[in-house]
Every structure is written in C-alpha cells, then in structure tokens.
Amino acid sequence: MKFRSDPGRIRGSIAPVVTPFAEDGSVDHASLRSLIRFQLESGSHGISLGGSTGEPAAQTAAERIAAMRTAAGEIADRVPFLPGTGSHKLDETLEITEAARALGADAALVITPYYARPTQEGLYQWYAAVAREFPDLPLVIYNVPSRTAVDIAPETVRRLFGDFENIVGIKETTKDFEHFSRVLHLCGRSLLVWSGIELLCLPLLALGGAGFVSAVANLAPGAVARMYELWEEGAFDAARDLHYRLHPLVDLLFTETNPAPAKWVLHQQGRIASPRVRPPLAPLTPAGTARIRTLLAEGGDLTRQLREATP
C-alpha cells in the first residue's frame, strides 16, 4: 500500500490480469501467481484484478477476495495494486472494497452498477456511498457502458471529483473519445484518467491521461509498458510504431468475447493451466481459434518480449 498515500504515482500500463480457472472450475491460484510474476518480469507499471477481463460477475465475493489476497501477496508492494471491487449490489461492493483496503490495495476500481441503468443522480449517490465508507482509500470510477448499459456523464464525474478527495480518477472504457476530453476539461489534469480501450491508449496520453488498463497487456505486457515509456521519453514515433504493431493482438482479444481469446493464448504459451472461462462465456469456436492463429502470426512477436521488472 505504499502508493496509497500518493495515487498520482499510479501511472503507465496497469495490467488487468485474467482470473485463471482450473478444469474443475475453481480459481487457479497457482496460475494466478504465475501471471503476476510474468507481469512484474515484463515491466508492467501496476496490476489490476477483477475488472471485466477478470470475469468478476461469474465469481462469488469470497472467490474475488481470495484472488485479491493471492495477487497482493505476489505483488508485495513492488508496483501499485488496483483491484476491481465493484458489483451491481452496494453491500457486495462495500464488502469487496473493504477486503481490498485491508489487503493493502493502493486504490480500488469501482465499476458503475450494471443492469439497473441508474440515473446520473443514482450514480452520484452510489459512488458517494462508497467514498464515504472508505475515506482513506483512493477510488477510481470504472466507466464501461458497453457492459453496464449506463454511461457516467462528465458532469457527474466532475461533481464526484469535487466533493470527495478520495475519488482520484476514472478508467474510461468508451470509444467516445470526446468523453475523455470532456472529463479532463471539466475536472482538470489532476484527475487521473486511464484508457480501457486498447486503440485509444496512446491517444489519451496526448490529452494528459495517466496511462491505460489494457487487456492486451495480458499477452504483450512488455510492449504495452514500453509504449507508455516511449511517449513519456518524447520518442513519439517509436511509441506510435508500437501502437500500430499491437493492432493484431488487439483484434485477437476481441475475436470472441474477452477474455476467452486471451486465456486460450496464455494456455497455449503454458502460462495458465487451463483456458477455461465461466458461463455465460463459452470456449472458443473453431473459427475463432483459426482467426486467432492468423493474428498471432502477425503480432505474436510482441508476446515474446520480456523486460526487466520495474523497481
């Protein structure tokens, strides 16, 4: 939790790690530890767990908390830990967020409540309730309207950011790039904004974003981290080159519903014991597998590039 007191240091590529499952359907903690080590060895600037890529809605609160405990133990404060703690139920969100706080998470990523389609006032009251409960824990709003059927408005973000010191940022997983700009314009550059849309990760940095929480970091963590570093170094052409080289892997991730493609690749590489996803997700189809093999032939070299871990 050494980054909790200064959340402005949570920048760069925050890898949203998949939750591996064993063949019997249980959470595979040994594979999870292996994935965390892979991320640290590859130079990812932080670790997230329990966002959309982690299949949180298919797990119990106890399973999610146990996975956070495993991840926190492996990370051991070497990089920021930003677990996803939200659900569609407020009591469950508070339970998981409290566990993250106790485990030493540096910040909590709280998704907009899904299915209910609350109003903007409802969203404000939801985040206000979480913020009041955990005044000592930095909170990051997680806006992903494609999965929640609700979009938190820039004006609501500004209201929350102004009213609660512990609401420090937002992960924007929307293809509406104007939304990124309007949030930063209303809140100012002190708001930490991360992109959850792979092909908007690099463009967000030009607006003053803090980095990205990109699912492609599961497959090419070194390349994704290096893209951020190159931009920060002013090597803009080299950063753009990596952005375009990552295109095939981005397409691979969404050949079928994320994270099934990523898990298939990680299993093929021997990084997890099983490619299993939980219902309602399904294993890859033969057509999806064939398409993934083609895309790996185009961009797979980036999956084999390791870098020294971030100190």
- For 264-310, the pLDDT digits (tens) are 999 999 999 999 999 999 999 999 999 999 999 999 899 876 544 33
- Please state, in angstroms and rounded to a whole number, the distance separating the CA atoms of residues 98 and 105: 10
- For 148-158, the pLDDT digits (tens) are 999 999 999 99
- Please state, in angstroms and rounded to a whole number, the distance separating the CA atoms of residues 292 and 5: 42
Q: Which residue shows structure tokens 């057509």?
A: 287
User: Could you check whether the bond before residue 83 is cis, i.e. omega within 30 degrees of 0?
Assistant: no
Q: Which residue shows structure tokens 């709003």?
A: 141
Catalytic residues: 142, 171
Q: Are 209 and 195 in contact (CB under 8 A)?
A: yes
- Please state, in angstroms and rounded to a whole number, the distance separating the CA atoms of residues 266 and 140: 28
Residues in the chain with pLDDT values less than 70: 305-311
What pLDDT, on the 0 to 100 scale, is given for residue 305?
A: 61
What tokens appear for 222 in the block?
A: 């070194």
Q: Report the candidate in 90, 88, 113, 105 with the shortest Cα–Cα distance to residue 4.
A: 105
Q: Are 171 and 194 in contact (CB under 8 A)?
A: yes
Three-class DSSP category at 272: coil
- Please state, in angstroms and rounded to a whole number, the distance separating the CA atoms of residues 228 and 235: 10
Three-class DSSP category at 108: strand
Three-class DSSP category at 172: strand
What pLDDT, on the 0 to 100 scale, is given for residue 157?
A: 98
